[in-house]
Structure 1
């Protein structure tokens, strides 16, 4: 039996996504503007401090005070630590519950004062968590629960990334590919509505110029694509190194015996000598990406810049301060691309005119392999540089880098970070009293494709309540045949949702 799906829910959630996107755009634009202006102030202060001992001491006192202030925020709300993306993933998976208002204001303030002094942290992860908090707040105000609540949280996360990078399509793709892991029409339509409305606010505030306006002169000839294979392998190897080192940082910080919430004092103190020595190279790194081609052909300078950015990025993020790794990853990828281009130029194997191209390509490849989200990487870099001319080389290098990390058993970095979160047992006990909705998609070639429902060994703890096939909804029966493209809608115990989802994915895929 088939019935046509009503559009009321889709329209309702789309309007909700627009509202969430507007508030997310305002919040993230203020967050982005504050960080940029605070960074400019600190860069000037670091330059002035080179010949002023009193100013050096004043900066140290100020940054220690900032570290203590943020430590109090972290102690009262540990879930504002880091980028916030793993926490959002856990929340959407049903493994964690967050206090949206506490997250919203503490992440906003803590993020500004942590990133603004010049630490090598990105604004995009916090922007995603800010948007998710707004989506959660809206769902509580409108009394939405279950799947609709999660869709609104996901739409807020999408709007956060869209406003942070002026990249609405990539924002939608990132949430679908990396955060929510669900391509339900309700999810992507609501997320896109949020991304577009949020991005409109950001464009009004910051203008139409691409975030990474990297100039380039020529498209790369097909005969030079062999460089993409070599560079992709290099990116994959360095990407796996990035994953290993980043995931090892909490253990390294534990050696200091400094309480976790106070470990941010280390990068905040170290940023003073770093800022005094290299004021133009501090911060998230988007300015560095734009100016890389102006640094000349000195491999010593470029490799030194890579080591500085790599090491201090680890120190900054490993401390647990509110801040992301999204932009720092793109920055490191860009530097790797510049190092490769200059090296090949010095060997007479590639004209230096293609340095900009390789900078752009390497950004996508590095993020694709570390985050294991190649589609997001391709679309994100395309939107950020404001050009569609690089799609083919972006796809080639992202694929190669992704495969290298996959062969080295690298997991998606945000998924790996999520696994290290402390899941609240009180939340799971409370959730065990309720049922929740879980959607699973059946892909082409799935083991259950063509099978009768009665013959599939589904877990005993689930109830299949509907099957969506295109725009139609099917009421499932024992003799219903599963087809590729079906979306199975099940009801599960809320506390077991994440576990059952993993079991179903193994069964279906």
Structure 2
């Protein structure tokens, strides 16, 4: 392939902008470092004078002879400490965020390659399992009862085994894994052991391959964080740098899951670390570059979702985006509460974890045989929604079924994420909103607002609007709707905040901490 596509050019421009912004603190230090060193020298002189005065005052009470002796000693001691502590113009101390950045950046690049390889293979295996699941109804078209029985039994067995792997070996591998990664970064929980990698990989393939409405990004993020942390641990980096590598590996996992490198880096800074500095930005970008390079070799450079038309922005799109954002903000309130209540209900159930997961798998298997497009992570469903394939009267039923499937699937106690299912729900809300708007171009409006709904519902549920905007833009290779997307995200987050709808990963993290405290007492 020769030359750059529009997607590559946009990504490179955004990458250059991020690097330029990250370099501003370094340039500031170069320009004003001398002035700051002079300020530190003046401060050292003040400390020296105060030290002398205090020592002299104390010694004066003991007598003149002792004063002379200790006064000389104090000057020598204080001057020696000041000389050791204060950097001089001849030997300036490098900024802490730049110390060792180049070798750490190289390690993050290598870790990203490893994460991209692991998550790329994970994606390929999931795709193969999904194709097999979709083909079963056709294989048994002439014997549907037998096909239904096989589908139900197979899904129940797979999900029960996935729950068993999690319970027996690594309980932290349950669910998305993103709340656990955040807890590790915050120092609230220990890092996951290497055993998490096979448990999350195999458990995720079993659960999502069976058709549970879960996303691949959660396992990819947690596996990426665990793998990158092992790099830092093996190379004996201190905890601060291990923390940076762990977060960068998580972002690389997200980038690999959706073929979206900038979204992976933004996710690290906005959701995991919640701060921006040059060191973290560089490491996050390095890991995303390494991961996406491998993923595009394995899966190709095409965007995740195909958008048939590049929609122009009309004069009413921004106010309509505000209205759609308000609707998705209210929907996020119901979604987050349903997830948390389903988890509480599952915890109160006396059934073993494997039995609960098997029951969910059996139900999903039955639905998957009758309506294959409605189960699974939701990629096919989202694509059909963006294509305007669903009629207006069918959308409420599709939305209700996917909403319930997503909630029940997450409570099953198997590995699996939330991103892909909630993006599908956001697209359905947006398509319905666009179709009910009066006008001649109803289908076009519906498909346009399906994109906007994806971004606004993500922003309301996760409360990470920058990541959502970049993610949708990279997944669809469409940036023309950024303005109405921004308006929709603003309204969605405002409604979520007014309703006191806690971000889903914060709520899940607090819930896990509460359960851990209860188990200790």
TM (norm. structure 2) is: 0.78
Tell me if the contact between 2:164 and 2:354 (Cα under 8 Å) persists in the aligned partners: yes
Judge which range, 87-96 or 57-66, deviates more.
Answer: 57-66
Q: CA separation of 1:213/1:265 partners in 2, compared to 1, >3 Å: closer, same or farther?
A: same
Please report how far the alpha carbon of residue 71 of structure 1 lies from its aligned counterpart in structure 2 after TM superposition: 2.6
C-alpha change, 1:10 and 1:294, in structure 2 (3 Å) is: closer
Give distance in 2, aligned partners of 1:132 and 1:224. 39
Structure 1 counterpart of 2:314? 221
Does the C-alpha gap of structure 1 residues 79 and 68 become closer, same or farther in structure 2, counting only changes over 3 Å?
A: same
Distance 1:425 1:48, change over 3 A: closer
Partner of residue 91 from structure 1, selected from 184, 188, 205: 184
Q: Would you say 1:71 and 2:163 are equivalent positions?
A: yes
Task: Name the residue aligned to 2:32.
Answer: none
**308, 325, 333: which one pairs with 2:418?**
325
1:419-462 CA-partner distances (Å, limit 9, x unpaired): 11148989xx9xxxxxxxxxxxxxxxxxxxxxxxxxxxxxxxxx
* 1:298 to partner: Cα distance: 2.5
Q: Is 1:312 matched with 2:405?
A: yes
Cα gap change, 1:297 to 1:277, in 2 (>3 Å): closer
Instruction: Judge conservation of contact 1:74–1:261 (CA < 8 Å) in 2.
Output: no
Q: Which structure 1 segments of 5+ residues have no match?
A: 430-509
Map of 2:456 onto structure 1: 365
Residues 1:170 and 2:263 are matched in the alignment: yes
Q: Which residue of 2 aligns with 1:491?
A: none
Give the drift of 1:250. 1.6
Contact 1:365 1:397 in 2 (8 A): yes
| Correspondence for 1:342 | 435
Contact kept in structure 2, 1:47 and 1:276, CA below 8 Å: no
- Compute the displacement of 1:126 (Å): 0.8
Shift of 1:342: 1.2
Kindly state the Cα deviation for residue 388 of structure 1 after the two structures are TM-superposed: 2.2
Kept in 1, the 8 Å contact 2:255–2:288? The answer is: yes
Distance 1:420 1:364 in 2: 26
Contact 1:219 1:357 in 2 (8 A): no
Distance 1:252 1:168 in 2: 37
Once residues 516 and 201 of structure 2 are traced to their aligned partners in structure 1, the CA distance between those partners, rounded to angstroms, is 27
Q: SS where residue 100 of structure 1 aligns? A: coil
- Residue deviations 1:349-405, cap 9 Å, x none? 864322221111110000001001111111111111112222211111111101100
Partner in structure 2 of residue 388 of structure 1: 479
Q: Equivalent residue for 2:147?
A: 55
Q: Hey, which of these two has a bigger chunk of strand by percent?
A: 1
Q: Does 1:203 align with 2:293?
A: no
Aligned twin of 2:82: none
Q: 2:359 aligns with which of 263, 266, 273?
A: 266
125, 131, 154: which one aligns with 1:40: 131
**Contact persistence 1:47–1:279 (CA under 8 A):** no
Alignment length, in residue pairs?
425
Structure in which a larger fraction of residues adopt helix: 2
Instruction: Write the distance in 2 (CA, Å) between the matches of 1:391 and 1:27.
Output: 32
Residues 216, 354 of structure 1: 8 Å contact kept:
no
Q: Tell me by how many angstroms 1:25 deviates.
A: 0.2
C-alpha deviation, 1:290, in angstroms: 1.6
Alignment partner of 2:234 out of 127, 138, 141: 141
The structure with more radius of gyration: 2
Matched with 1:404 is: 495
2:109 and 2:287 in contact (8 A); partners too: yes
Partner-residue secondary structure (3-state), 2:132: helix
**Contact 1:313/1:328 (CA < 8 Å) preserved in 2?**
yes
| Structure 1 Cα separation of the partners of residues 359 and 501 of structure 2 | 29
Aligned counterparts of 1:348 and 1:354: Cα–Cα separation in 2: 9
**1:136–1:153 contact (8 Å) kept in structure 2:** yes
Shift of 1:243: 0.8
Q: Return the alpha-carbon distance in structure 2 between the equivalents of residues 90 and 378 of structure 1.
A: 25
User: Secondary structure of 1:211's match?
Assistant: coil
| Structure 2 partner of 1:27 | 118
- Pair 1:294–1:169, CA change in 2 (3 A): closer
Deviation of 1:129 (Å): 0.3
Q: What residue number does 1:13 align with? A: 104
C-alpha change, 1:250 and 1:170, in structure 2 (3 Å) is same
Aligned partners of 2:111 and 2:228 also within 8 Å: yes
1:329 and 1:104 map into 2 onto residues whose CA distance is 25
What SS does the corresponding residue of 2:183 show, helix, strand or coil? helix
Check conservation: 2:152, 2:366, Cα contact below 8 A.
no
Contact 2:163 2:203 survives alignment (8 Å)? no
Can you list the C-alpha shifts for 1:39-77, whole angstroms capped at 9, x where unaligned?
110111144446333333333333333233223211121
Whole-angstrom CA distance in 2 between matches of 1:61 and 1:415: 35
Cα deviation, 1:74-133, whole Å, max 9, x if unaligned, reads: 112111100100010000000111333111111011111111122110000110001001
Q: Is the 8 A contact 1:214 1:289 kept in 2?
A: no
Task: Give the Å deviation of 1:21.
Answer: 0.1
TM-score calculated relative to the size of structure 1: 0.80
Cα distance 1:392–1:272, how it changes in 2: closer, same or farther (>3 A)?
same
Structure 2 residues without counterparts, runs of 5 or longer: 1-39, 41-86, 88-92
Alpha-carbon separation, structure 1, partners of 2:152 and 2:251: 37
CA displacement 1:443-502 (0-9 Å, x = unmatched): xxxxxxxxxxxxxxxxxxxxxxxxxxxxxxxxxxxxxxxxxxxxxxxxxxxxxxxxxxxx
Question: Helix, strand or coil: the match of 2:302?
Answer: coil
